[in-house]
Amino acid sequence: MQGEKTAAVIGLGSMGWGAAHSLLKAGFAVHGCDLRPDVLQRFADAGGKSCTTPADAAKAANVIFVFVVNSSQAEDVLFGAQGALATATLGTVFLLCTTMAPSATISIAERLEAAGMLVVDAPVSGGHLKALSGELTVMSSGSDEAYARAEAALDAVSAKIFRLGDRPGPGSQVKMINQLLAGIHIAATAEAMTLAAKNGIDLKTLYDVLRVSAGSSWMFENRGEHIVSGDYTPRSAVNIFVKDLGIVTSEAERAGATTPLAATALSLFIEASDAGFGLEDDAAVVKILARKSGAILPGMEGRG
């Protein structure tokens, strides 16, 4: 082990990269794992230790952040042939930052704990810029011992840590509700921008008015700017909300709850994914509504 401030980050996407960068700034020795050679080279250039397998990243870490896309990937990077559990030291804290169904989080946590590890259910919110600045919001749950051992690492990546329970599960439940609102707000932003374009309203002017008015939301402020500029470079992709709103609707059905707005937003994200926009920024859901409305938006000319 390389002292008390050694962390691993498995998955160097937009959120994982930002968290790893924040840990480096806080003085941690950071072992980063990703499938993409160019990302690993960039991470090494930034001062991190690049690892090609989770097992390699985990063997020198006190805390391990998991920032992969879904529960299937989480199981693979933790329990697969080159998974982190194969080399992690007993008592290592695993921070499960992946947005997963609460039932999946609980199942994974139980397997880790049975192997002698500590777990914090720790999904995050704030976007890639907040991740880079170490100002994420963490919706977490876990034991006092796990929090104590992970405190410095959590502080390095976050501005606010909500402790929602003493067992994994509640963190993922709250993140699920956050994603319900986030997905609906992105879809609502897309609908508003499409209607404005169809009525000949200048989108930049509209954006400037609404972002300081009662109809605004964090997602409108953030994704609305993407639509105004026609920039669909993925920060969070359409396919992420196909997954996350799928979790919302399936867990709601299991609980006997009705979520008509989430179901409608999910259908739009699925349609956007099927149309070939799945890897674009999630604001690209607007292209589906624009197509149906006959509206032309920035960045769509000749491609819509």
CA distance 209 to 211: 6
Residue 52 contacts by C-beta under 8 Å, 6 or more apart in sequence? 33, 40
d(CA 73, CA 251): 20
Alpha carbon distance 135, 131 (integer Å): 6
The b/e string for 225-252 (b: 16+ C-beta within 10 A; e otherwise) is ebbbeeebebbbbbbbbbbbbbbbbebb
Contact between 165 and 218 under an 8 Å Cβ cutoff? The reply is no
Nearest to 98 by CA among 45, 168, 51, 167: 168
Give 117-182 as a DSSP string. Answer: -EEEE--EESHHHHHHHT-EEEEEEE-HHHHHHHHHHHHHHEEEEEE--SSSSHHHHHHHHHHHHH
Catalytic machinery residues: 175
